Amino acid sequence: MRHISVLFNEAIEALKLDEHSVIVDATLGYGGHSGGILARIKEGFLFAFDQDSEAISFSTNHLNEIGTNFTIIKSNFCHMKEKLESLGVSSVDGVLFDLGVSSPQLDDDHRGFSFHTDSRLDMRMDQSSLISAYDIVNTYDKKELAHIFKIYGESEFANNIAKHIVETRKIKPIETTLELVDIIKMAVPMKMRLHKHPARQIFQALRIEVNHELDVIEPTLEQALSLLKVGGRVVVITFHSLEDRIVKNYFKRVVKIDDKVKGLPNIPEEYLPNFSLVTSKAIVASDEEILNNPRARSAKMRVIERIK
Ligand SMILES: C[S@@+](CC[C@H](N)C(=O)[O-])C[C@H]1O[C@@H](n2cnc3c(N)ncnc32)[C@H](O)[C@@H]1O
């Protein structure tokens, strides 16, 4: 399945691009947003990160059809600052994050992200990383499994699913996605399976754990903000309430006026925050976008700008 970029127009507009903009796309994916950016920055430059080599090889061809003023960096975006510095770049006009996985990653039969098709349990976005969903499912203890299912998957059956996994793997390792789906189904009451697929939340939880998705958000936002020129913006699209909470709280913290001077009639310049929120409430997809692309339903976009 091809990837449809979520909140495309909103993200492009939020980046306030001009011909000369230097932009980082932290999550290149299938190049939808990057393509839109590149088409608008004829005299500027795009640095695009992804840790997935399949996404990179697809997007390289796609971006080459639009322009040549870009560099793709195969890396976790948590190395953003160091990677850009090694290319001589110390400041940029904008950074875009479109977090999570792309539709081709989810739907590709051999990546192990999908609970619809059978494949080895994998779920690594970076195919060279060492820990896959197989390792987690077969080695984490019951408490650890239940914890990630509860916290990352928000599953009310976390304990029971963890118990079933641990029981089953005593007989033989759990090798494939559909073996895991069968175990999950056994652990979830029939009537709870009618509205949504019982494996959805568990697969989401495993994916977040395999890729350390939540751990890298705040440290990378910190790097992204430190790279911004005055007037530059960081735009973040999230798909999970825990991701959004991290972004929201971090942005709130960096725009806060220091308690020491809050309420003073004239706040000295050095105490004023360096950043200002562009979106006080998260931007969400329109009904029309959700109709065309159900993935957009859970998307939230937040934007912050460097003001000094
Ligand atoms: C939702 S997709 C991006 C889609 C893209 N904006 C588009 O319009 O085609 C997210 C992409 O970010 C990548 N990704 C997620 N977390 C990452 C991280 N920590 N470091 C590098 N790439 C990451 C995934 O591999 C995936 O390709």
Last residue within a domain, chosen from 210, 237, 260? 210
- 169 Cα to the center of ligand 1, angstroms: 32
Mark whether 117 and 201 lie in a shared domain: yes
- CATH number of the domain residue 158 falls in: 1.10.150.170
Among candidate residues 46, 125, 41, 122, the one with its CA nearest the CA of residue 78: 125
Query: 209 CB less than 6 Å from ligand 1?
Result: no
Q: What's the token pair of residue 199?
A: 């494996």
At 292, which CATH number? 3.40.50.150
Residues 49 and 133 in one domain: no
Is 206 found in the same domain as 116?
yes
CA distances to 29, 248, 308 from 33, rounded to whole Å, are: 9, 22, 27
Does the CB atom of residue 55 touch ligand 1 within 6 A? Answer: yes
What pLDDT shows up at residue 192?
72
Q: For a substitution probing ligand 1, which of 50, 80, 235 has the most ligand atoms within 8 Å of its CB?
A: 50
Q: For ligand 1, atom 7, name the residue with the nearest CA.
A: 32
Predicted local confidence at residue 191, as pLDDT? 72
Check residue 1 and give its pLDDT: 57
Amino acid at 68: T
Q: What pLDDT score does 3 carry?
A: 83
What atom in ligand 1 is closest to the CA of residue 35? 8
Q: What's the average pLDDT block by block, 10 residues per block, for the chain (308 residues)?
A: 90 98 97 98 98 94 97 97 98 97 82 92 93 98 98 95 97 97 91 79 96 97 98 97 96 92 85 94 97 94 97
- Same structural domain for residues 133 and 199? yes
Cα angle vertex 108, ends 130, 239, to 5°? 80
Question: pLDDT value at position 161?
Answer: 97
Query: Residue 102: CB within 6 Å of ligand 1?
Result: yes
In this structure, the answer to whether residues 224 and 92 fall within a common structural domain is: yes
* 92 and 218 part of one domain: yes
The tally of domains found in the chain comes to 2
Whole-prediction pTM:
0.93
The range of the structural domain enclosing residue 283 comes to 8-100+214-306
